[in-house]
Amino acid sequence: MPTFEVLGLHFGIWKTEATDTFHYWLEILRDVFPPSLLE
């Protein structure tokens, strides 16, 4: 089962919302941390 489906089941949200949330936080992390930490 894909990670986003597991998140959706665990937190009671739709898979697309979990995906959107993940990408939202990923953008924030890219702004906060240097790229070398995220590779």
pLDDT at 5: 67
Asked if 23 contacts 13 with a C-beta cutoff of 8 angstroms, the reply is: no
pLDDT at 11: 66
Per-residue pLDDT of the chain (39 residues; tens, 9 = 90+): 567 667 666 666 666 777 788 889 888 888 887 767 655
Q: pTM here?
A: 0.45
